[in-house]
Amino acid sequence: MLEVPNRLHHRKKIMIVLIGVLVIFSALAGRLVYLAAWCAEYYAAQAQELHERERSIKAARGRILDRNGVVLADNKTVCTVSVIYSQIQDPERVVSVLSEELSLPREYVAKQVGKFSSREKIKSNVSKSIGDRIREYDLAGVKVDEDYKRYYPYQELASKVLGFTGGDNQGILGLEVKYEQFLQGTPGLILTVTDAKGIEIEAAGERRVEPKNGLDLTISMDANIQAYATMLAKQVCESKEAEGVSILVMNPQNGEIYACVDIPEYNLNEPFALSEEAQSLDSKAKQELLNGIWRNRCISDTYEPGSTFKIITASAGLEDGCITPSSVFFCPGSIKVDDRIIRCHKRTGHGSQDFTHCMMNSCNPALISVGLRLGVDKYLQYFEQFGLKDKTGIDLPGEAGTIMHSKENMGNVELATVAFGQSFQVTPIQLLTTVSSLINGGRRITPHFGLHTSDETDAVIDTFAYPERDGIVSEETSATLRGILEKVVSEGSGRNGQVAGFRVGGKTATSQTLPRGSGRYISSFIGFAPADDPQVIAIAIIHTPKGIYYGGQVAAPVIRQLYENILPYLGIEGYNQ
């Protein structure tokens, strides 16, 4: 009686299991169709990625060229030697050859060769001749890929402007890092196919994704002017046993920098080289020493400008109308400001003189009087109007800002000292830029190096533009200032800056470094030519010269020698030509 229900029950179970199996197989079949039809490309790519090995091909870094096409930073072909563990057939032979050819300890090479990795680098920046020699051994699992290393054909020339690159060929300092996005290029790839054990399948060959080289950068620097300015800087540094010498040469009309020298400089091809004495220092001390070697005082250091800053005070007084070139001042040898007596460099005084002669004689009491006539509020207003509170915006990293009294802390005594260039600090590039803006008709220009980038066909890709600001001073004030500064050179304290056949304007300075009374001085001279239509302006700064330290006797002759050579070279005509 119970047999029929049991049979029905078993049949139902079988049907349920059968239906379940059919559903599962249907789902699997559907999934298989889905993977084969709709996901084929994805999984093919995944399989290819699993069996492909890639090695990067570095892009050639863009060159840096001077304004005449002279190559200042180039590339040298080198090699990177690496090994692939799964492909090595004779480890002992590989270790022996690589340790010998690469001059590396056998233990180090053996350790690298024994690492179970897709690719292990043994050494980079290997000379091409050694790389080619290693290729000739035809060692399984050893890869020699060509690479690029930055090379500077002129070694020390413009080292603190160009900067250098690291082991990965990326910019670290100077223009190399500032224009990294244009110079670096895009790396390529070498793709090879391997089996499940990671052995390359020779029949599959290799695929290459070619690198895209970086763009060349053309800069405003003139290698000839830079080289000559460097030679002069070295000469005066040696003869005066100075701590350093800085020279900047610029076009005051557009801000293009022709030369930027800061002695001592360093070899760009060996930027981390230190003296034997320095080798015993700890890593922190070594890095601090290197930072000092690499530092560009023209851009990154401030100093008390001294009497060259009288150009700014004179411009403010002339623009304000509180003085004219014929305004008369009396110099008894000192001036009392509040409770402070401030002396002139000529202790016996200059007596009665017009303002033009005050500038020619670099008279401190006269310039202090101009500052006091303006007052703190107005003086600071002109300080800001001339652009001295802002950075210049030069296209080099690490520019320092002006260090100036706050309005709240500036009384008559502080105003008096600022008026003749003391108790505050500016960078050389800031001072040169400001003076350029005052003598070029009143346009605040941006000092710069970058002109344009170009590709391998020399086609210009990017042309760089820089901001200018009008109305710094009036054309009339600018012309008057040029006339006064020409008198400073032709008849005044800047006589040693005269250049035969050319009209030169300028101003000397001798400032004492802190602390006062240390006997350490900074000698400087700013000069521009032609005086009536400035096409070039330069500043020479000698840090702590021994013996005679007056700017008119130490720095002015440097600019004179510079101009005697570069004015004809630049095609600037003199008055007797």
User: Model confidence over 165-211: pLDDT tens digits?
Assistant: 987 789 999 999 999 999 998 888 776 666 555 555 554 556 778 88
pLDDT of residue 156: 97
DSSP line for 373-396: HHHHHHHHHHHHHTTTTS----SS
pLDDT band, residue 563 (cuts 50/70/90):
very high
Contact 342, 369 (CB under 8 A): no
pLDDT of residue 50: 47
**What stretch of H or E contains 82?**
strand 71-83
pTM for this prediction: 0.86
Residues marked as catalytic: 307
Rounded to whole angstroms, the Cα distance separating 174 from 394 reads 11
Rounded to whole angstroms, the Cα distance separating 497 from 494 reads 6
Average pLDDT of the chain is: 90
User: Model confidence over 286-337: pLDDT tens digits?
Assistant: 999 999 999 999 999 999 999 999 999 999 999 999 999 999 999 999 999 9
82 phi/psi in degrees, rounded to 5: -140, 170
Compute the 3-state secondary structure of the chain and give helix, strand, coil in percent, each to the nearest 5: 40, 25, 35
User: What burial letters (b/e) apply to 535-565, b meaning 16+ CB within 10 Å?
Assistant: bbbbbbbbbbbeeebbbbbbbbbbbbbbbeb
Angle at 41 (CA atoms; ends 40, 42), nearest 5 degrees:
95
Residue in the structure block whose two tokens are 């400008």:
305
Q: Give the list of residues 6+ apart from residue 550 with CB closer than 8 angstroms, or none.
A: 508, 510, 523
Q: Is residue 81 predicted with pLDDT exceeding 50?
A: yes
pLDDT of residue 145: 84
In three-state secondary structure terms, 405 is coil
Q: Give the list of residues 6+ apart from residue 210 with CB closer than 8 angstroms, or none.
A: 57, 188
User: Model confidence over 22-68: pLDDT tens digits?
Assistant: 778 777 776 776 666 666 666 555 555 544 556 677 788 999 999 99
pLDDT of residue 87: 86
Work out the average pLDDT over 355-376.
Answer: 97
DSSP 302: -
Contact 511, 472 (CB under 8 A): no
Report the top-level CATH class of 225-264+296-569.
alpha beta
Domain ranges of the chain: 225-264+296-569
Rounded to whole angstroms, the Cα distance separating 509 from 348 reads 19
